[in-house]
Structure 1
Amino acid sequence: MDLVRRTIECPFCGHHLHISIEITDEDQDYIEDCSNCCNPIHLRIHKDDLHHSVQIFVDADDEQYY
């Protein structure tokens, strides 16, 4: 497992947050609260072995997926 540090932007208030992500072989899906506005941020992490990269998807927790 690797530890990756990234800066993301809160989808609610635009505040920049520094997060640490533990990269695993499986996709991750979790909620982290914004330290500025306290709204829940939905994070999805995908490890792309083919391109040797990590994709981080950030959106508001109240958005729906179809």
Structure 2
Amino acid sequence: MNQLTEKSISCPYCGETIEVLLDPADVQQSYIEDCQVCCKPINFLVFTDVDEELAVTVYSEDDAF
């Protein structure tokens, strides 16, 4: 079973820092989760960084990727 990793992110809409749980099974996948503060949809892209640690990039629906 994969262990979840807790990360702090800033909502691209309201700027609030929120805690999210990342699943290693989601590496190289994107998904949408609503902000816990403003309820707007945040796009998540989960990946492993150069140190092989779980990382995430978040962006709004309006951001070009």
**TM-score, normalisation: structure 2:** 0.80
| Inter-CA distance 7–26: structure 2 relative to 1 (3 Å threshold) | closer
Size of the aligned set, in residue pairs, is 64
Residue 26 of structure 1 deviates from its aligned partner by 4.1
Residue 2 of structure 1 deviates from its aligned partner by 2.5
Partner in structure 1 of residue 19 of structure 2: 18
Residue 37 of structure 1 deviates from its aligned partner by 1.1
Indicate the structure with greater strand content.
Answer: 1
Structure 2 residue ranges without an equivalent (≥5): none
Indicate the structure with greater helix content.
Answer: 2
**TM-score, normalisation: structure 1:** 0.79
Aligned-pair identity in percent equals 31
Residue 54 of structure 1 deviates from its aligned partner by 1.7
Paired with 2:27 and 2:6, the residues of 1 have a C-alpha distance of 18
Partner in structure 2 of residue 4 of structure 1: 5
More displaced stretch, 33-42 vs 21-30: 21-30
| Inter-CA distance 52–28: structure 2 relative to 1 (3 Å threshold) | same
Higher CA-based Rg: 1
Cα-Cα RMSD: 1.8
